[in-house]
Chains A and B, each alone.
Chain A
Amino acid sequence: MSLSMPPKPDVLVVDDVEAVRVSLAEALRGAGYNPICVASGHEALTEIANRPFAVAVTDIWMAGIDGLKLIKLIRDTNRDLPILAMTGGGPRLTIETAGALAEVWGAERVFVKPFDEDVLVKAIDAIVARQ
């Protein structure tokens, strides 16, 4: 790789299901991003503290710190990090409500699983281009 090439933007992927992490990492890597995958909100907060990310993609319904809480915590410390949310539904909130709340807290867009990962990649492209 030549040094003149721009560095691959780091994208944080937060999901407690490994298969989802693997699938998303594949898609992002294929699109020229550097996916950093973590399985929980705690790990995500550590990663965000350690290095800058271009975009964070997080699941909403997770054990421990759930996605909504995570988005809120990220927003408290880092106002500028763009966030995209994903959800497959959950026992307490409907998909629409969860999505609406994620947007209220600061997610730019909500994707309902299973979604076409190419659409997600395009959204990330748009965010990076804007930056």
Chain B
Amino acid sequence: MCLILLAFVGPTRAAAETTVRFIGPLADHLLDRSGRLAITDITAPGSTVAFQQHDGRRAANYGPSPAPEAALWLRVVIPTLAERAGGDWVLALREPRIRNVSLFIQDAEGWRELRWVIGRSQAGSGFPTRYPVLIVPTTEVADSTVYLRIQTPSSMRASLWLHADMDFVSASGAENLMFGVVFGMLAALAMYLAAAALIARDPTSAMLSGLVLAYLAYVLGDQGFVGSILWPGGIVAARVMSFGGTFLLFAMILFYSPYFLRVSTHFPRVAAAVRGVAIAMLGLSVMALVSVLTDNPTLRRFSAPIGIASIALCVLLVVLSWRSERRRTLVFIACWGPMFAGGLVRMLHDALPAIGANPIAVNVNYLATCLSLLLSGIANAIDLQSREREARRAAEDAALRLRAFAESASDSFWESDRNGTVIFASGPTAQAIGLTPGRNLADLLGQDQQSGEISARDQLANSLVNTSEFRASITLPVTEGGLDHRLVSFRARPSGAGGGLQGIVTDDTAEAAAKERIAQQRKMAAIGQLAGGVAHEINNLLHPIVNLSRRVAGGIPAGDDRRRLLEIVAESGTRAATIVAGLLTSVRPTPRADSHAPLGQALGEAIRSLRSILPDKLALSFENYGEPGPMVDANEAFQVLANLVANAVYATRGEGHVDVRFKGSGAAGFILTVKDNGEGMDHETRQRAMEPFFTTKQPGQGTGLGLPIVYGIIHAWKATIDIESQSGVGTRVTIAVPGPTLSETEPTHVAQHAAQA
């Protein structure tokens, strides 16, 4: 056991104090290593025990104590005290670690002993005091020599005061109030930090909260609040809190500091090592508990070096973090600076004990540490807030990014409530088909023209009722009642608690159109083969029919009826050959080299020829703006336009509007549209529109070769055809012709295609 007994001694205040006297400096001292000396042994005449004379500044005994029962004896000559009416004096020894004190006063009958034992109520008071307090009658002690026998198991620093009783009451009241404020603040801080740690799942807050609690426990125990005011008689608890709290405090400091300084980020090994030390320190705090309960002094011997090592470790962490975490290190120093300053002042106070008259000054280190903890709590709150702000900003950024993706994707996102009312929709597809918040999804789906076995609307109703997946692929108008349509597919899942749906809507129009085009091309290729084969057979038969009948007719005199009949045979064969040639045109048109013109010009000429043969009640308008267009065979252009206009005339029954429009540029390509306000086509008719021999016309009104011929020709132009139609509204045929540059750069493609046909 290291027994350090320190009675603060210093120059008495020059000012004549009438209510409080610092009498430490007047004490001679003697260390009784065995603790067996009695007052009589000391005061007996001729006693060999020699008190060490006070030097007027301090009286102290440092060094190892031979036994736990060692006692410190003080001999004090009480100065002349002012006479106070009816008032006693109080001898106070400000050190809560003292176990017991005996004051020996000499009176007529010999030595009278006044005893103070830790945790016991004093005579005249219902409460135990935190530190030794003895009431001494003025008349008995003034100008006399008294002896004090002090016992403590641990080191101590006591300052010996003589108070007028009222003065003592107010001074200790002020001191307790100060500690009360400190405890209140620390408790509030610990609770706030614990709450923050729980809410934000923040280990730093948890560490700091633990640190504050450990410090609170330590001060409550070490300053004797537990054992006197808070728990009269709870001496063991106080010692556990004081001694165990010391190690717990170091452990918490070693847990907290690397966390705050982010040591693990920059020096993971150091952080791991410090964490190991901190865990060991936790173990020591448990050992401290055991050592208090078993009264084992071994651990106490190492407490001072362990404390110094812990503080050195913290300083090392600060030095390490200085480069990598300058700002945090500065904040750390600023937060913990007051604690170090407080400790320094306390040490100064040891050197200049006169400061100790003031309870605030005596306990300045506790106040400073409390301030440090408060500052750390504030720094932690700011840190937590800034991290939260960062996280929120990151979350907002992520949300914005997702939204930007959603806006730019062809897939649009949407959400509906349990009634099918759209509550969120984002993206161009959703916008195009009118899928907007507030819109009822069932109404939107109701615009679907297809009448499948289960309509999309029914499927939606099913999904909403059964909270099941919703999938539908349907055609919807871009604007209500308009001609432009989109083939869109909906995919959605139940959105959870609300019972609504959450999903995407994809625009499949382009994909579907491309698929349709490819299917059309394949069909045309097959038909081309068939047509070629049939044409071959028929032409081989027509050849002798035409030639032989002509030859035979040539040998019959003119006017003979048989000649006329044979000429009819030849003529019929020739007409049949024309039909076969027309059939082949749908597969591959026959170019005529002499009639080339720019497409725009060829169309203009075709319009002029068509106007002369169209019904009067039909209004044919032609708009041609932009560049003249690629060079094409004027006959082909005529065939294309004539077939489309003929279809339009048929659809309008000869009474309506047909608008032909041609525009574009070499760079962007050209667009030819033929639009009518006729009866339109239903979905099935539109699908089959380009099939050869498919016709809606009455037998004898048409061959069904119109659109396939158009298709064959524009295919050779490398153009694409698109048909949009709605029953009762009209039809729009759009032919997109690539610019001349494009067709010139890939001339071989046409030849290849022709070879495959």
Partners in one complex: yes
| Assembled-state Cα–Cα distance A94/B590 (Å) | 10
Closest chain A CB from B78 CB (angstroms): 136
Per-position binary interface string of chain A over residues 75-105, scored 1 when its CB falls under 8 Å from any chain B CB and 0 otherwise: 0000000000001111111111100000000
Q: Does B642 contact A (CB under 8 A)?
A: no
Cβ A114 vs Cβ B536 within 8 A: no
Cβ A94 vs Cβ B548 within 8 A: no
Cβ A27 vs Cβ B532 within 8 A: no
Q: Does A50 contact B (CB under 8 A)?
A: no
Residue of B nearest to A120 (CB): B547
Closest chain A CB from B539 CB (angstroms): 3
Known: A97-B755, A117-B547. A90 touches B536 (CB 8 A): yes
Interface residues of B in 497-546 (CB under 8 A from A): 528-530, 532-533, 535-546
Cβ B532 vs Cβ A89 within 8 A: yes
Q: Does B587 contact A (CB under 8 A)?
A: yes
Cβ B540 vs Cβ A113 within 8 A: yes
Closest chain B CB from A123 CB (angstroms): 15
Closest chain A CB from B592 CB (angstroms): 11
Instruction: Collect the chain A residues with CB atoms within 8 Å of residue B574's CB.
Output: 114
Known: A88-B535, A117-B547. A95 touches B755 (CB 8 A): no
- Residue of B536, B541, B548, B577 near A26 (CB, 8 A) is B548
Cβ B532 vs Cβ A92 within 8 A: yes
- Residue of B542, B591, B754, B757 near A113 (CB, 8 A) is B542
Closest chain B CB from A63 CB (angstroms): 12
Q: Does B389 contact A (CB under 8 A)?
A: no
Report the number of A-B residue pairs with Cβ-Cβ less than 8 Å: 94
Q: Does B588 contact A (CB under 8 A)?
A: yes
Cβ A94 vs Cβ B587 within 8 A: yes
Instruction: Collect the chain B residues with CB atoms within 8 Å of residue A115's CB.
Output: 543
Cβ A91 vs Cβ B547 within 8 A: no
Interface residues of B in 13-30 (CB under 8 A from A): none
Per-position binary interface string of chain A over residues 17-49, scored 1 when its CB falls under 8 Å from any chain B CB and 0 otherwise: 101101110110010000000000000000000
Known: A94-B588, A94-B754, A94-B757. A114 touches B532 (CB 8 A): no
Cβ B548 vs Cβ A88 within 8 A: no
Closest chain A CB from B579 CB (angstroms): 12
Closest chain B CB from A97 CB (angstroms): 5
Per-position binary interface string of chain A over residues 41-63, scored 1 when its CB falls under 8 Å from any chain B CB and 0 otherwise: 00000000000000000010100
Known: A96-B588, A115-B543. A61 touches B536 (CB 8 A): yes
Known: A26-B551, A94-B587. A114 touches B546 (CB 8 A): yes
Known: A17-B540, A97-B754, A113-B539. A92 touches B547 (CB 8 A): no
Interface residues of A in 98-131 (CB under 8 A from B): 112-117
Instruction: Collect the chain A residues with CB atoms within 8 Å of residue B535's CB.
Output: 88-89, 95
Instruction: Collect the chain A residues with CB atoms within 8 Å of residue B588's CB.
Output: 94-97
Q: Does B573 contact A (CB under 8 A)?
A: yes
Closest chain B CB from A41 CB (angstroms): 16
Residue of B nearest to A112 (CB): B539
| Assembled-state Cα–Cα distance A61/B587 (Å) | 18
| Assembled-state Cα–Cα distance A15/B547 (Å) | 15
Known: A95-B584, A97-B754, A113-B540. A27 touches B547 (CB 8 A): yes
Cβ A23 vs Cβ B544 within 8 A: yes
- Residue of A23, A59, A97 near B547 (CB, 8 A) is A23
Cβ A27 vs Cβ B551 within 8 A: yes
Instruction: Collect the chain A residues with CB atoms within 8 Å of residue B755's CB.
Output: 93, 97
Per-position binary interface string of chain B over residues 583-595, scored 1 when its CB falls under 8 Å from any chain A CB and 0 otherwise: 0100110110000
| Assembled-state Cα–Cα distance A77/B537 (Å) | 31
- Residue of A30, A61, A96, A114 near B573 (CB, 8 A) is A114
Cβ B540 vs Cβ A88 within 8 A: yes
Cβ B547 vs Cβ A90 within 8 A: no
Closest chain A CB from B400 CB (angstroms): 58
Known: A89-B535, A96-B590, A96-B754. A23 touches B543 (CB 8 A): yes
Instruction: Collect the chain A residues with CB atoms within 8 Å of residue B577's CB.
Output: 114
Closest chain A CB from B271 CB (angstroms): 80
Residue of A nearest to B546 (CB): A114
Cβ A91 vs Cβ B584 within 8 A: no
Of A26, A97, A113, A114, most B-chain CB atoms within 10 Å: A114
Per-position binary interface string of chain B over residues 171-199, scored 1 when its CB falls under 8 Å from any chain A CB and 0 otherwise: 00000000000000000000000000000
| Assembled-state Cα–Cα distance A61/B539 (Å) | 12
| Assembled-state Cα–Cα distance A113/B548 (Å) | 13
- Residue of B532, B542, B591 near A90 (CB, 8 A) is B532
Cβ A88 vs Cβ B547 within 8 A: no
Residue of A nearest to B590 (CB): A96
Cβ A20 vs Cβ B543 within 8 A: yes
Instruction: Collect the chain A residues with CB atoms within 8 Å of residue B546's CB.
Output: 114
Instruction: Collect the chain A residues with CB atoms within 8 Å of residue B532's CB.
Output: 89-94
Instruction: Collect the chain A residues with CB atoms within 8 Å of residue B754's CB.
Output: 94, 96-97
Instruction: Collect the chain A residues with CB atoms within 8 Å of residue B537's CB.
Output: 88
- Residue of A15, A92, A112, A116 near B529 (CB, 8 A) is A92
Known: A94-B584, A94-B588, A94-B757. A114 touches B545 (CB 8 A): yes
Cβ B536 vs Cβ A19 within 8 A: no
| Assembled-state Cα–Cα distance A114/B538 (Å) | 9
Instruction: Collect the chain B residues with CB atoms within 8 Å of residue A113's CB.
Output: 539-540, 542-543
Cβ A89 vs Cβ B548 within 8 A: no
Cβ B530 vs Cβ A91 within 8 A: yes
Cβ A116 vs Cβ B538 within 8 A: no
Cβ A114 vs Cβ B547 within 8 A: yes
Instruction: Collect the chain B residues with CB atoms within 8 Å of residue A19's CB.
Output: 540-541, 543-544, 548
Cβ B548 vs Cβ A23 within 8 A: yes
Instruction: Collect the chain B residues with CB atoms within 8 Å of residue A112's CB.
Output: 539
Instruction: Collect the chain A residues with CB atoms within 8 Å of residue B591's CB.
Output: 96
Closest chain B CB from A72 CB (angstroms): 17
| Assembled-state Cα–Cα distance A23/B580 (Å) | 21
Residue of B nearest to A15 (CB): B540
| Assembled-state Cα–Cα distance A110/B535 (Å) | 16
Instruction: Collect the chain B residues with CB atoms within 8 Å of residue A116's CB.
Output: 547
- Residue of B536, B541, B544, B573 near A89 (CB, 8 A) is B536
Residue of B nearest to A88 (CB): B539
A sample of 9 inter-chain contacts (CB < 8 A) reads: A26-B548, A87-B539, A88-B538, A91-B530, A93-B532, A95-B584, A96-B754, A112-B539, A116-B547
Give the 6 A-B CB pairs with smallest separation, nearest first: A88-B539, A91-B533, A89-B535, A19-B544, A23-B544, A114-B543
Task: Knowing that A15-B540, A94-B757, A97-B755 touch, tell me 5 more A-B residue pairs with CB under 8 angstroms.
Answer: A88-B536, A88-B542, A89-B533, A90-B533, A114-B573
